[in-house]
Amino acid sequence: MRTFPIFVSFDGRPPLVVGGGQLAAVKARLLLKRADLVDVAADALAPELATLVNAGKAVRLEIRPGIDEIRGRPLVISATEDEDEDARIAAIARDLGVPVNVPDRPALCTFALPAIVDRGEVTVAIGTSAEAPVLAQRVRAWLEHELHPRIGDLAKLAGSFRARVAEALPDGPLRRRLWESIFDGPAAKAMLQGDEDKARALIGEEIDRAANAEEDRKGSRRGRVLLVGAGPGDPELLTLKAVRALKAADVVFYDKLVGEGVLELARREAELIPVGKAKGAHSVPQAEINALLVARAKAGETVVRLKGGDPFIFGRGGEELDALRADNIAIDVIPGITAGAAASASLQIPLTHRDVSHTVTFVSGHEAGGKAPSFEHLDLTALAAGNNTLVVYMGVTTGAVISQRLLDAGFREQLPVIAVENASRANERRVATTIAALAGDPEGLGLRSPAVLIFGEVAGLPHAGAVETILSHQEVARAYA
């Protein structure tokens, strides 16, 4: 059963529990966490249900529920533990469009009861589409430990200021930034420590400051741009600061190499705009991207420019930085894990090692226009002397040419090379070879972008996980000689 999480209001007709046993009592007790009253339809009541009726928290209906008793309910739980009766109740509720749950019979349910973390005004519901309720309970236990006991009090306090905030600031980015400042700052800390008076005073000061700043900005309002490194693709490799940036964004301009899991962390209301760029396939020219960033920031929005890897390592972040500075746009730069580092971590081989590599050099595998790199800016002969690791980005199609240039500069033929496609992602693939084998077979790797190539003695160190091996004909002959 696939479900969509929502929160149901109990302000109207009470929810209905059908059944009088202990299972029905458990469900009634759960509903009473938010409902003022629960109706219970049963011939006889278990002691706990009888206690709820005597306390005025439940009303007993001594009839077999039909259409009139089910119509208009916010939800119905049928826990009679009688298969035929539960099926009858479920059928009526479905026909009336009333959400219905039958414990342990997902085929009869239109909603699932979640595991709940209750912090007053803050409620967290955990569901597994009725597939693994014990797992949901384990997640609940973890959240119970992680969520501050007073976080619900903080939410209630914030609610008492909503009208004042609405009067002071227009809806949109400025109001959201104020709340972010409140929840990240000393006001929230004071409330979580139990000092409500101090928290109220601090929130009032925050609102006044924001309102005064808004008056000063009227007519010349500007937003900001955050250049954010999305890392190699695994959402868990994002920095905490990058996640906060995505949660604050009004609009996100993202590259082709940004993983879907990363985009799912963006604020739900954020506008997501692809400006996909990949080697040889620039769907949006860089100048146009720059203009979009400037225009949206000038409109007062919080703009996230989400770039694969790190913005400043072969990401053209420097060009975007220049364009933004030229228009006096406020900028934040949030670094990301670059693909070379992700490949190294996944393989568990170091890019530098005291015994075999003292330096690491990051280079691009192509120049402007897609041409193979000349490496005129590098002293390849010096690098060939050893104790260096060369990490090549965007070098899948030019790997053979690069290898030949390295051989011409004096790199030894059997120097190990490892190429990693989609580093850190579920579809990661690794291929081990040598410079000579790669130079002799341009198509030998069989990889696609995005991929990085690691040249150096470190590529021959013990690694973690499976790696395909590509050898030259001469190496194969030697291996079987």
Separation of CA 17 from chain center: 38
SS3 of 124, please? strand
Please report how the helices 173-184 and 196-217 are oriented relative to each other, as an axis angle in degrees rounded to 10.
Answer: 150
DSSP notation for 224-242: EEEEEE-BTS-GGGS-HHH
Which sequence positions are flagged as catalytic? 255, 277
Closest by alpha carbon to 77, among 93, 61, 54, 62? 93
Distances in whole angstroms, Cα of residue 78 to Cα of each of 59, 92, 110, 248: 16, 11, 12, 42
Continuous segment of H or E residues that includes residue 271: strand 271-274
SS3 of 281, please? strand
Q: b or e along 422-459 (b: 16 or more beta carbons within 10 Å of the residue's beta carbon)? A: bbbbeebbbbbbbbbbbbbbeebbebebbbbbbbbbbb
SS3 of 151, please? helix
Q: How many CB atoms lie within 10 A of CB 82?
A: 14
Q: Look up residue 185 and give its two tokens.
A: 């700052």
Cis peptide before 450 (omega within 30 of 0): yes
126 forms bridges with which residues in the sheet? Answer: 115
SS3 of 48, please? helix
Closest by alpha carbon to 73, among 55, 56, 90? 90
